[in-house]
Amino acid sequence: MTTILILSVLALVAIAIWQMTKIFELSQLKAENSQIANDTDNKNNGYLLFAFMVFTYLITIFSFWKYSKFLLPEASSEHGAEYDYLLFVSFAIIFVVQFITQFLLHYFGYKYRGKKENKALFYADNDRLEFIWTIIPVIVLAGLILWGLYTWTTIMDVNDEDDPLIVELYAQQFNWTARYGGEDNVLGAANVRMIDINKANVLGLDESDSYATDDVIVKELHLPVGRKINFKMRSQDVLHSAYMPHFRAQMNCVPGMTTEFSFTPIKTTDQIRQDPDVIDKVKRTNAIRAERAAKGEDNSDPWEFDYILLCNKICGKSHYNMQMKIIVETQEEYDTWMAEQKTFAETVMADEAKPAFNTPKGETAGL
Ligand SMILES: [Cu+2]
């Protein structure tokens, strides 16, 4: 409310000054009152053009200096490095080209500003120039697109080579559930039509399918480092998007179909926590949280970095909070954790009173 008041006062003051200047101009009858720009006007505009260019360059440098820290840390998946390199090269080209073209645009605007004695030259076209400024972008863009397509097809080649771990990511408004294939690494059949809330069969697993009995349903995703993971995504209600930024992975979750994405995590959670960028981010976040704690506000307990699965499609009003923790650990740690989890047979199929999924330690199950 105060902001609106201040803004209205500022607007009124600006209008008052403008009106007073008008009155002042009208009272100066002898002053030149031409609407046609003279040499001085053109020169001033030329200088302003230069000033604007310097402003854009300075704000670019400022943004790099101030906001680079918000970029993601180094990729934690095998394909991530190439993805990042492609993005870096694209940005570098855009940056260099815009730096040069902005300079030329503003410099020529200044150099050929209006002058009384100047006459415009009639210059219809120049085939060679047009050829040059067409062929250079064509070559650069074709290179980037071909490289991008090659990277895309390599990343999106989801296959069963190298014994991948199969994990289902199940999206619904507004939470994620993950399912492992169990001992046989094969997911049992499932369909939204078979969801049985009374039995807490929340993923709609087919109880008669033998592959489903050893499936493990969890609310915290654990991945063994160095092993290829093949994700199979399903959605219960609307379009969601499984987004794992630190692994440079994203795939839409579409109701009625299964989508796939595959990657190999290369850094454990413990390792990424040692990354200088991550240490810095944790420090900054905890400084803010300490301030909040001092004021007695919420969200003030110290934060520890964790990989995260987010929803990246605006799927409803609690979309912002649709997330699941990801823990990347050694094969041994993963095996120990998996051994503690209950299978689908041990939960839903054995006892109707128990929930059909495992909950992280210290949390109680709820639907
Ligand atoms: Cu969502």
Give residue-wise pLDDT tens across range 222-241: 999 999 999 999 999 999 99
For CA atoms 212, 191, 311, 356, the dihedral sign is negative
For residue 314, report the distance from its CA to the centre of ligand 1, in Å: 6
pLDDT value for 350 = 56
Contacts of 161 (CB under 8 A, 6+ apart): 228
For residue 177, report the distance from its CA to the centre of ligand 1, in Å: 12
In this predicted model, what pLDDT tens digit does every residue of 133-153 receive, in sequence order?
999 999 999 999 999 999 999
For residue 156, report the distance from its CA to the centre of ligand 1, in Å: 22
In this predicted model, what pLDDT tens digit does every residue of 250-274 receive, in sequence order?
999 999 999 999 999 999 999 999 9
For residue 254, report the distance from its CA to the centre of ligand 1, in Å: 10
For residue 316, pLDDT beyond 80:
yes
For residue 354, pLDDT beyond 60:
no
For residue 359, report the distance from its CA to the centre of ligand 1, in Å: 20
Exposure string for 145-177, b = 16+ CB within 10 A, e = fewer? eeeeeeeeeebeebeeeeebbbbbbbbbbbbbb
pLDDT value for 229 = 94
Q: Which of 247, 215, 249, 230 is nearest to 327 (CA)?
A: 247
pLDDT value for 32 = 59
For residue 322, report the distance from its CA to the centre of ligand 1, in Å: 6
For residue 166, report the distance from its CA to the centre of ligand 1, in Å: 22
For residue 33, pLDDT beyond 80:
no
Lowest pLDDT segment from 78-92, 197-211, 222-236, 299-313:
197-211
For residue 325, pLDDT beyond 50:
yes
For residue 173, report the distance from its CA to the centre of ligand 1, in Å: 6
Q: Can you tell me the mean pLDDT for 287-315?
A: 91
